[in-house]
Amino acid sequence: MNDTTEETFPPADPKAEFERQCGELDERRDFVALPGIDFAMHPDDLWFTDDVSDDRYFNEQFIEPRMEGEIAFLARMMAGCWIVMPVVIILVLAPLFGEIKSVMDWFWGALGCVPFVLIGFFWLWAGGKGIRRIRFNRVAQVVHVMCLDHAVHLPWQEVRAFMELGTDYRLRLCFPIPYSQLRSYLEPISFKRIFHNRPLAESGSFDTSDSATFGAALERFEFIRRYMEHGLEAIQPHPEAVAAGRVRKPSGFVADDRSRLPKAFSLGHWAYMLALGPWVDRWIQRKADAYQWPEEVERLCAPDADLSGYDTTPVKSRTDVYYVYRGMDQGIVFVDANGKPVHGLRR
């Protein structure tokens, strides 16, 4: 019996259960298994463009994505919808199809739009609370994740990476469910309801553009893998990207550096303003800046942390075989150091 029920909680062999769960993902058409962390992307295919100079989020102890921009985009979209809708109702639909005869008619029409505005502000509030929290602790070789409002510590050595295919490409870092860490917070039957008999899958995105293409998401996986093996020096932006001025902070926010005249004729700019874009961005940014990790996570990320009990040995990647991405027609291909295909290897 594979279900996580009261009779089988926790599984007799959690490792075997994790392998079964990953095997089921591998058989699905909307998931693609990625190479293990003992394989590196060929160095010639790497093109990092992330500004990792902010040591609050990128240092030798840990790296941490800041996805405020993604949340802010969703909040702007929802706020914009609920702001535009009352405007359309009052200024367009009501005059065309309603009977507006007095100031009171306008008043009651505006009052009927209040729920839409309130829903927009609810999305702003939810956006501030919905920022995902994950931290990659290189020194401890642990991934810290806020799961169900509790911090769990996942061994990096056990990660299995997948690409989830849909309207975009989502990197999924899968770990065995930390039964022992969550057992005091959850009833046994809750594991089945929350995890649906799947591994604990976390997004590895650092920026909204990471899910734009398969190659971008795969490069982000290599970004994380290289850091966990080699440290901060291994994820510095490519020199040519620096020279070309293409380095940017991976926050998810899109910089708008156009002059005022092009902005005045930009539909996107006015949509951004109508959706309270500047205010929403600042709101989400303040929420993110005010967040504090639990003390136990900060303690494990400190330079002098006591890591006894943790396997702090980085997973070394092979130096004779690498992988490259050759587009959707060929997919991921294993090659040797000279870029020649190597056959007979499994991911």
pLDDT single digits (tens) 167-182: 899 999 999 998 888 8
- Paired tokens of 6: 């009261």
With contact defined as beta carbons under 8 Å apart, do 203 and 12 qualify?
Answer: no
Q: Give the per-residue pLDDT at 63.
A: 97
Q: Where are the domains of the chain?
A: 1-59+136-254+317-347, 68-130+256-293
Which regions in the chain score pLDDT beneath 70? 1-9, 68-132, 187-190, 192, 252-271, 275
pLDDT at res. 194: 72
The angle that helices 68-88 and 114-129 make with each other, rounded to 10 degrees, is 180
3 state DSSP class of 285: helix
Q: Tell me what pLDDT residue 10 has.
A: 74
pLDDT at position 174: 97
Distance of CA 151 to the CA centre of its chain: 17
End-to-end CA distance of the chain: 28
* CB neighbour list of residue 235: distance below 8 Å, 6 or more residues apart: 48, 50, 52, 58, 63, 223, 226, 227
Can you give the pTM of this predicted structure?
A: 0.81
Q: Quick one: pLDDT at residue 279?
A: 77
Residue 269: the pLDDT is 67
Q: What is the DSSP letter of 157?
A: G
Helices marked H in 183-276: 188-195, 214-230, 239-243, 260-264, 267-274
pLDDT at 257: 45
Query: What are the residue ranges of helices labelled H in 89-159?
Result: 94-97, 103-111, 114-129
Cα–Cα separations (whole angstroms), residue 212 to 45, 76, 208, 209, 345: 18, 20, 8, 5, 28
Give one DSSP letter per residue of 127-145, joined into a string.
HHH----EEEETTTTEEEE
